[in-house]
Amino acid sequence: MNFLLRSAATLLCSLFVGGAATAKPQVATLIVMPQDLRQNPQIVSDLQRRGINHATVYLTWADVEAQPGHFDFSAYDPYFDQLTQGGLSLVVVLDMGGRAYFDGTGKHFPGRTTVPEWLYRQVPDGFMKNFSGQSTPQPDFMNPTVRQFSAQFVRNAVTHLSQRYPGKVTAYSIGLQEEHEIKYGQTGYQWRDYADAAQAAFRQQTGAPLPVINYTSDIALGLPRTEPLLHAHKQFREANLKDATCFYANAIRSQGGRAMSYFGELFTTHDGIYATSVAEQLADCLDIAVIDYNFYDGYSLSPDARVLPMLANYMASVGYKQIMVGAYAEQWERVKKSAELLPVISRTLSTSLAQPSVIGYEVGGLQRHLDTHLAGTLDLDKLQALRVQPPAPTTASTGKKLTVGILASTSNYYVWHGDRSGGVNVHREALLEAYNLLSTQPGFDVHVIGEKNLQEGDLLLQRLDAIVVPHQAALPASIKQQLKAYWKKGGTLVQDMRLGEFDENGKPVYDWMHEVFGIENITWRPRGGIFLTDDGQILRLKPARKLYTGHAAMTPRPGYRLLATDILNKRQGIMVRGERTLVFGFTPQLVEDATQAMWQQIFVREIVNAVRCPTTTCKTPPRSP
């Protein structure tokens, strides 16, 4: 937290597509189904020529334990034998989450799932419901009987595969629900779990009924709908997910396996449905975490190469030692546009693999669908078009870097469920672009941090020269207190707009940490403005889609300084500096017009100034010619 900039760590990257060999190649995997082997007996060598060294395979509980207590792996042994004998290692998904059932030929069986049929009969109350009370095929892994049976499947599967394929199974993934990510599933847009057991447990814990939070909160419209139990609901659901995930991880580890889990994209409009923020709490339970992205924002296709590198960085910050990134094209394939996505996938994987904690990648959704009644098969031509080229290993830098944390508060994204201000989720956009902009600066060492990292004693927190808070409009009071404590101990705080204006339940508190950032009052301006800097530069801010509410004209408190003064009101301005503080009255990283480069340059420059010259007496350095 001092002002000395630290040496950059050496980035050790393995090149497995057209690159030099290393001691341990990075994992390159994709899903290989039995029908892929049947249709192409040479598929293993074909995959290897395209840089693939692993196969992600599904081990279905319904097949292995068709009768209670009788475990039979004979349907899978030839399939896995062919993959491993050909030279591929395995990532095994323990498929017990209620996914639709396909047989070994790829044929779909309506009404059947990957959960044994006898479990539905023996434990009829052991399955989740959506908030309309409709039953779902997803087992309730808080149910003790379901746990007992499913853990027997997990232990037997790990024991059998570890013995049959020693050294060839990289990890076993926990399939809690249909998509195998650690989250709650959904039926349409109806959340889970609202079964009787979940409702009783929540009532016992809080004394209140389990709430149904089924609305959007659009910050451009003003105040969100206040839900007093929003945060309690979040904690309840995440605690259950954590408990179940760690339970199955321990079952895997007890048989000598390595536990792995998939996590869907965080910091989106849908976090509130899925409880995806549980990812922050599971680093101690998992050996490998896969963070994935399907290039779809819940509303439309989104060819965004920024997402996976940012998410991988965040996963490392919250404690995961080994991370994989997953890029999936199924949403694009459905509209026959996956070929257009391949350059974006290549770019985002290559960028992600440069991070030292990222050990590999998985790609998915590149299938040919020749028959509507059969699962698709791998499209090797599309796979061939991928160009995953992580940067060559670099030598250690002798220069000093500014170590910056970018706060991504999970509470903020729960409150703003469904937000589409300006046609996008502006909270997500501010975070993504802040990371994209700062992480590409040669003098920055950037870490996307979570609420977990603000706790006293966190090792990463102690290294940070500054924390940037990008549009985290809803924060618990405890998080703001932790930010204040960081500042009091000598760290620099930067916000781009609206830090903690609402609490974790959406209640307005009308506070941007005014006493820390030196804000006397704020006047909202619906349009743009013209501002004058102390070195005579004229700055123009125009209305824009992502600048959904114009800007906040701020009046500083005594001892704080305006960096950009409104030419129509000399007492107000768009940037305020204090001792180790900097606040913007808008989101400069989201400017989209011809002044974009200028505002981005100012954003970076003033963060550097706030750290290197912490007092308000520092003048803005002359502009470069």
Quickly list DSSP for 407-468. E--HHHHHHTTT--GGGS-HHHHHHHHHHHHHHTSTTEEEEEE-GGGGSTT-HHHHH-SEEE
Structural domain includes residue 3: no
Detail the DSSP E strand segments found in 248-381. Answer: 259-263, 288-293, 323-328, 358-364, 367-368, 377-378
Q: How confident is the model at residue 616 (pLDDT cuts 50, 70, 90)?
A: low
Q: Is 478 in a helix, a strand, or coil?
A: helix
CATH number of domain containing 494? 3.40.50.880
Domain assignment present for residue 508? The answer is yes
607 occurs within a structural domain: yes
Q: Would you place residue 374 in the very low, low, confident or very high pLDDT band (cuts 50, 70, 90)?
A: low
Is 98 in the same domain as 213?
Answer: yes
Q: Is 625 among the domain residues?
A: no
Average pLDDT of span 268-291: 94
Confidence of residue 2 (pLDDT cuts 50, 70, 90): very low
Domain that holds residue 591: 402-612
- Is residue 137 included in any domain, yes or no? yes
**607: helix, strand or coil:** helix
Tens of pLDDT, residue by residue over 233-258, are 999 999 999 999 999 999 999 999 99
The number of helix segments (H) and strand segments (E) in the chain equals 19, 28
- Residues ≥6 apart with Cβ < 8 Å to 119: 126, 139, 146, 149
The verdict on residue 22 lying in a domain is no
Summarize the confidence of residues 566-592 as an average pLDDT.
Answer: 96
Q: State the CATH number of the domain containing residue 72.
A: 3.20.20.80
Q: Is it the case that residue 12 has pLDDT exceeding 50?
A: no
- Pull the structure tokens for residue 81: 């034998």
More confident residue, 455 or 226: 455
Q: What is the per-residue pLDDT for 618? A: 65
Share of the chain above pLDDT 90, in %: 79
Choose one of 359, 385, 411: the last residue of a domain: 385
Point out the domain boundary residue: 337, 355, 385.
385
Answer whether residue 484 shows pLDDT above 70: yes
* Predicted pLDDT of residue 370: 56
Residue 122: pLDDT band with limits 50, 70, 90:
very high
Using one digit for the tens of pLDDT, what is the confidence trace for 403-420? 999 999 999 999 998 898
- Asked if the structure places residue 128 within a domain, the reply is yes
User: Is 334 in the same domain as 459?
Assistant: no
pLDDT surpasses 70 at 21: no
In this structure, are 196 and 252 located in the same domain? yes
Residue 164 CB contacts under 8 Å (≥ 6 apart), including other chains: 73, 77, 80
Give the confidence band of 391 by pLDDT, cuts at 50, 70, 90: low
Q: What is the pLDDT of residue 624?
A: 43
Are 361 and 461 found together in one domain?
A: no
| In a shared domain, residues 380 and 408 | no
> pLDDT band at residue 190, thresholds of 50, 70 and 90?
confident
pLDDT of residue 105: 85
Helix, strand and coil content of the chain, in percent to the nearest 5, comes to 35, 25, 40
pLDDT band at 8 (very low <50, low <70, confident <90, very high): very low
Confidence of residue 6 (pLDDT cuts 50, 70, 90): very low
- Residue 503 shares a structural domain with residue 528: yes
Q: DSSP of 105-165, one letter per residue? A: T-BEEEEEESS-HHHHHH-TTSEEEBTTS-EEEEE-TTSHHHHHHHHHHHHHHHHHHHHHS
Question: Does residue 170 register a pLDDT over 80?
Answer: yes
Q: Is the pLDDT of residue 222 over 90?
A: no
Tell me the per-residue pLDDT of 59-85, one tens digit each, with 9 for 90 and over.
Answer: 999 999 999 999 999 999 999 999 999
Position 542 pLDDT exceeds 70? yes
Residue, of 426 and 614, whose pLDDT is higher: 426
Residue 368 and residue 411 in one domain: no
Please tell me whether residues 200 and 336 are part of one structural domain: yes
Confidence of residue 623 (pLDDT cuts 50, 70, 90): very low
**Looking at the structure, do residues 236 and 311 belong to the same domain, yes or no?**
yes
For residues 185 and 275, membership in a common domain is answered with: yes
Residue 213: per-residue pLDDT? 78
Does residue 397 register a pLDDT over 90? no
Query: Which among 385, 419, 436 is the end of a domain?
Result: 385
Q: Which of 297-301, 529-533, 607-611 has the lowest mean pLDDT?
A: 297-301
| Of the listed ranges 88-102, 202-216, 389-403, 424-438, the one predicted with least confidence | 389-403
Q: Are residues 450 and 550 in the same domain?
A: yes
Mean pLDDT of the chain: 91
**Same-domain check for residues 337 and 447:** no
CA-wise closest residue to 289 among 388, 178, 171, 389: 171
Does 522 score more than 50 pLDDT?
Answer: yes
Q: Tell me: pLDDT of 615 over 80.
A: no
**Minimum mean pLDDT range among 44-48, 267-271, 514-518:** 267-271
Binning pLDDT at 50, 70 and 90, where does residue 50 land? very high
Query: Per-residue pLDDT averaged across 476-504, rounded?
Result: 97
pLDDT value for 237: 96
Average pLDDT over residues 566-582: 96
Is residue 331 over pLDDT 70?
yes
Determine, yes or no, domain membership for 119.
yes
The neighbour count for residue 488, using CB atoms within 10 Å, is 10
Number of domain units in the chain: 2
Q: Residue 3: pLDDT above 60?
A: no
Q: What pLDDT is attached to residue 214?
A: 75
Residue with tokens 């419209």, as numbered in its chain: 221
Mean pLDDT computed over 426-440: 96
Q: Would you place residue 9 in the very low, low, confident or very high pLDDT band (cuts 50, 70, 90)?
A: very low
> Which of the residue ranges 168-177, 321-330, 486-495, 616-625 would you say has the lowest mean pLDDT?
616-625
